[in-house]
Chains A and B, each alone.
Chain A
Amino acid sequence: MATKEETILHLPQTHWPSVLRHHRFTHNLKQAALAHDLGVTQAMISRWESGRATPSDAMQARLKRLFDAATIGVPMPNWREITALQPSMATIISRAGVLETVSQGVLREFRMARSHIEGHHLNEIFSGDALTLHLSLIDQGFFDGAVEMAESVDVMSLRLANGMKRDFYAHRLHWPRRDVDGEIRWASDGARLRKDEFIAMRDELGGQLDVILSL
């Protein structure tokens, strides 16, 4: 089993004054703010940084965990922002078939830049299952509130720039979500499958698509 990558903090001789100052500088933390985060006094931080004192073993462990991350302050993410951050394959698509928001997972699987996908129509990116699914959902009244959720096992056919296509298998869950403008959006989340998983899932689902209607 591979060992985790060592950072400078895990070397036997950590020069705490440098490490603390570097961390505070890169993350714009005043001594008081760091002290507050750690639950110690600002005077304590000052002593560590000047070298007059060394953090205790327990505190060193905490500092190492705290420093191994980049930190910023943000407002509470809304539904779209969370979707954009998802490592899985998640999308938000409008009734007309425009990919409004896609996740990091989508960018990773499709190997495309966000600007080449967001704002573009499904037709420009896909052929095959992805398109027929959109039509099926419209047919079933998905965008009019008739569907509670749907599950699909798809062959995603990506159109490439050179006119060729790249195919991969996906297992996805779809549900309607009303946005602030009152219109229903098509939200979906899912994962890529291997071929054997695809065959098994198609078998389990009994086809490409399973739609659960609202009561």
Chain B
Amino acid sequence: MSKVVSNPEVLTIHWPTVIRHVRLSRGLKQASLAQDLGVTQTMVSRWEAGNARPSARIRTQIFDMIWTLTSSLARRTWMERARRNPSSVAVINSTGLVELASRGLLRSLKTVRGQIEGRNLRQAFRGDIPKLFGSLVDRGFFQGKIATVESVERVVFTDFDGHDTPFWQHSLHRPLFVANQRICWLISGASVSRPVLQDVRQRLGSAMVVRKAI
């Protein structure tokens, strides 16, 4: 059932997609982005075509640019605030390690922080969550190819004593562009009851709605 990622390519940032995505989202022509980054328009063109890889300095700048599009906080402050969030928030890295669990998530899981942060999702969860992880890897989520995914899933959490806590959750999944150019999986959601679940499923129309990076 667990998926072994044999091809490390699926976890490396796909710079052509990421650069084009942030550029188009800001409504910039290649020349304007080039100016912002202090390079030539030709360089940007080559990056987007996949003919050249941006330098470490540029890679950091792009990541910071993307970060500031969605948050005005420093990453560390954002993490601290996310932990206090009364709604369900989780941050999982590309190897499946749960890096962060919010107050709200702990409430849904009926557990404490020590039972979930630092654990691999394949040990802590059964059912839809590990499957979802595999699906995201397949779609290039950790490469930056996905803008958001919306889904409804059956979450089954297992604590260290083997006790199961099952519930349904309506979730939004997005990439978190953390430092040192890693993309993490940010899940924000809410527990839903059976009747609400059917309603959301019907509105979504399929198991998931995937919004790819243009």
Please list the residues of chain A having a beta carbon within 8 angstroms of any beta carbon in chain B: 1-2, 4-5, 7, 37, 62, 65-66, 68-79, 82, 85-90, 104-105, 108, 149, 151, 170-173, 175, 177-178, 189-191, 197
Contact = CB atoms under 8 A, between A and B. Distances in A.
A2 B154 contact: yes
Contacts of A68: 206-208
Contacts, number: 141
Interface of B: 21-22, 24-25, 66, 69-72, 81, 84-88, 104, 107, 128, 131, 134-135, 138-139, 147-150, 154, 156, 166, 169-172, 174, 188-192, 196, 200-201, 204-214
Contacts of B87: 86, 88-90, 105, 189-191
Given A2-B154, A87-B188, A88-B190, A73 B211 contact: yes
17 contacts: A7-B207, A65-B138, A69-B149, A69-B210, A73-B213, A73-B214, A74-B148, A75-B24, A78-B70, A85-B150, A88-B88, A105-B170, A149-B84, A171-B104, A173-B86, A177-B72, A191-B191
A47 B78 CA distance: 49
Chain A interface, DSSP helix/strand/loop, else mixed: mixed
Contacts of B174: 77, 82
Given A87-B188, A90-B87, A108-B196, A69 B207 contact: yes
Given A71-B210, A87-B192, A88-B188, 10 more contacts: A5-B201, A66-B138, A68-B206, A74-B148, A78-B25, A85-B172, A170-B86, A189-B86, A191-B87, A191-B190
User: Which among A7, A82, A178 has the highest number of chain B CB atoms within 10 Å?
Assistant: A82
B70 A173 contact: no
B39 to A, nearest CB: 21
A175 B154 contact: no
B86 A87 contact: no
A82 B174 CA distance: 9
Given A73-B212, A171-B86, A191-B190, A66 B139 contact: yes
Contact of A76 (B166, B201, B208, B213): B213
Contacts of A75: 21, 24-25, 147, 214
Most chain-A Cβ atoms within 10 A of its Cβ — which of B87, B156, B191, B201?
B87
Nearest to B209: A70
A67 to B, nearest CB: 9
Contacts of A65: 131, 134-135, 138
A7 B128 CA distance: 15
